[in-house]
Each structure stands twice: as C-alpha cells, then as structure tokens.
Amino acid sequence: MASTLGRRLVACLLNISEARERNLVETVAQAAITDKHGRRRKGTTVLNIFSDYDYNRSVITIVASIDLIKDAVLSACEQAFSMIDMNEHEGVHPCMGAVDLVPLYPLGQDVDLEDCGKEARVLATELTERVLGTSAFFFGWADVPLRRGLAQRRKEMGWFRKVPNMAAIQPDIGPQPTRQYGLTGIGASSYVMNCNVTIDTQDLALGRGVAAAIRESSPGGIPGVQVMALPHEGTVEIACNVESVQAGSPSDLSNGMEPWPAFTIGDRNLFHAPASLITARVTELAGCHGVATKGTALVGFTPLECKDLAERALAQEIGEFWKMLHSVRM
C-alpha cells in the first residue's frame, strides 16, 4: 500500500502568517485532516508544524496523494483566512497574506511538476470562489506559460517591501487584495527546503553581505539557494530557501566536496545543496569579519525524509503525525 501510494504523493508546505497563538495554528492544521463533518480525512497527514515567534510565521507540512491534496489544503486555507487578520499582524519576516504561500511539491515518481501546476491553478480558483475577497499570484509550474520562479514573482508583487502597497498589486486571480486577507502565492515547483544559519551578531548589514555571497544569482553562489538576512532573537539569521536543481549527476554540483543528496521525480534527477555546505559557507564568510555561527536549523525535512515519513504516517493512518514526530526522530 505505502509503496503504491508513495508514487503519487504531493507535499504542501503551507505558510501562514501566525505563530504566536499555538491553538490557532493547530486549528488550521486540523482543518487539513478533518472533513466538513468533523470526520478524519483519510489519506492525508500533517507531518510537521514549524512556528517562529519573531517571524510570526508557521509552516505546516501537509501530504496526500495528488487526488486528495487540493481539498486538504483548501480546508486549511479557509480556516486560516477565517482566523488571521493581516491588519493585526506583526513580525520581522516579509509577508503579504494571512495565507502567505501555498507551494505544491511532487514527491512520487508518478506525479510530475505539470500535474502539480495544474492542481495549484485549480486550487487558486476554488479558494477565491470559497473565500470571497482573497486573491493570489502564481509561480513556478502554475505560472503559465512563463513559469517564473517564486523569488521573481515575489519581487514583482512587492513582497520584500516592509509595507507592501496593496493598491498597486495586480493579482493573477481574484480581486484587488485587501489588507485583511492580503495576497497569497500559489504554485508548484520541485521540493524546497528551509535551512537557517544563525550568526552571532546584530549587524544586519553584515548578515546581508553574507546572504548575498551565497545567493544563487551571485558569482560563486550556491545553486538553488535563495536567501535573506533577518534579525532573530538578538542575532541575525541567514534564512535560506534551498530549491532542488536538475543535474546529470551529483559530481556536476559537488566539486569534489560532499555529494549533494539526490531524488527522482518522474524522469528528472534532482539534487539539493546539503545543509553542511550552506553552514560551512556562512561560517567562512562571517568568520572573515570575526563573527561566529551559533547553529543551523533545517526547517521540516529533506524531500526523501518527507516522502518516507508520509508513507509511514499514511500506512498507519496517522493524521496528527506532527504530535509524535519528536519520538520518531529520536
């Protein structure tokens, strides 16, 4: 059962703009695994909830088959929009929407990026019909025909501004964004991890310099890495989105160093930068300024971990897997 289902799995790392009210966040997670009658939604699990107080942002990892993922994510989004008002939101992490990001990632060999892109577009249509006043922009394989990446689309929408200008935004679907709901990014891409390295300084300019040096678009940057430097708990966090990249073999990327972890989606060989490489580069760059690193946090899972844990949770019909995750990993 698990191996067959595993070939059709899709993950959604749902980003919502709330972390300080734990009950609210868990209510959103519960909505993903519960139908409108309050019954357990079969074939769906929430693997993890990651919340950060300073960022006031939570990432909820929802996994189901390609046939079931849309309804689970829609229910969670509806719940989030009913409880989060962006007029009252405070946090140091950039954001534009109560539901800020809805990315779909294929995990199985029988699901490709085009499938997830189509599902993301349908999801966006149904969301704007169910929750009147919500609006969205598309990215990745949901952005037809350009397939612009998330970082580019966020820049175009003004996501990185401290106070986004909602009146100037032209969403891809839905009405002009309101301050209450904001704007939601909905799309599909190969798996993206979050790897955050903390450096022991409050110098945000130094942190931004380190971030710029490892960013994929910079000379000598790390392929697949999109990064920001943000103030965090009295230090600076180098917050990285680690996108999976396509290559012929690990040697094309590793340059004689640690091999990059690999996984396969359809006929694509994908790889992602290891957290150890990101940490080493940040340590080296910060060290040039006499600043040490304080630690690295991998938010959620690698793609292979995500798939393996989802197969286990679904085979045992565990919807609230996040509640037992710590014991599973020990």
139 lies in the same domain as 198: no
DSSP string over 43-76: TEEEEEEEEETTTTEEEEEEEEETTTHHHHHHHH
What's the mean pLDDT when you consider all of the chain?
Answer: 93
Three-state DSSP class for residue 199 = strand
Is the pLDDT at 14 greater than 80? The verdict is yes
Torsion, Cα 242 248 254 260, to 10 degrees, reads 50
* pLDDT for 167: 86
In terms of domains, do 20 and 155 share one?
Answer: yes
10: containing domain: 2-189+303-329
Q: Quote the pTM value.
A: 0.94
145 and 41 housed in the same domain: yes
Assess whether 320 and 249 both reside in one domain.
no
**CATH at residue 246:** 3.30.70.670
Same domain flag for 80 and 208: no
Intra-chain end-to-end CA distance of the chain, in Å: 26
Residue 146 and residue 25 in one domain: yes
pLDDT band at 102 (very low <50, low <70, confident <90, very high): very high
pLDDT at 266: 78
Q: List pLDDT tens digits, range 239-290.
A: 999 999 987 655 556 555 678 999 888 788 899 999 999 999 999 999 999 9
pLDDT of 254 reads 56
Domain count, the chain: 2
| Domain shared by 175 and 295, yes or no | no
pLDDT in tens, 118-145: 999 999 999 999 999 999 999 999 999 9
Assess whether 185 and 214 both reside in one domain.
no
| 184 and 269 fall within a common domain | no
Q: Please report the pLDDT score of residue 156 as a whole number.
A: 95
pLDDT (tens digit, 9 = 90+) per residue, 142-167?
A: 999 999 999 999 999 999 988 888 88
* 117, 180: one domain: yes
Higher pLDDT, 24 or 249: 24
Q: Which pLDDT tens digit goes with each residue over 169-217?
A: 999 999 999 999 999 999 999 999 999 999 999 999 999 999 999 999 9
In this prediction, residue 30 has a pLDDT band, given cuts at 50, 70 and 90, of very high
CA neighbor of 187 nearest in space, from 117, 97, 241: 117
Alpha-carbon gap, residue 286 to 271, rounded angstroms: 26
Same-domain pairing of 118 and 238: no
CATH code at position 117: 3.30.990.10
256 and 318 in a common domain: no
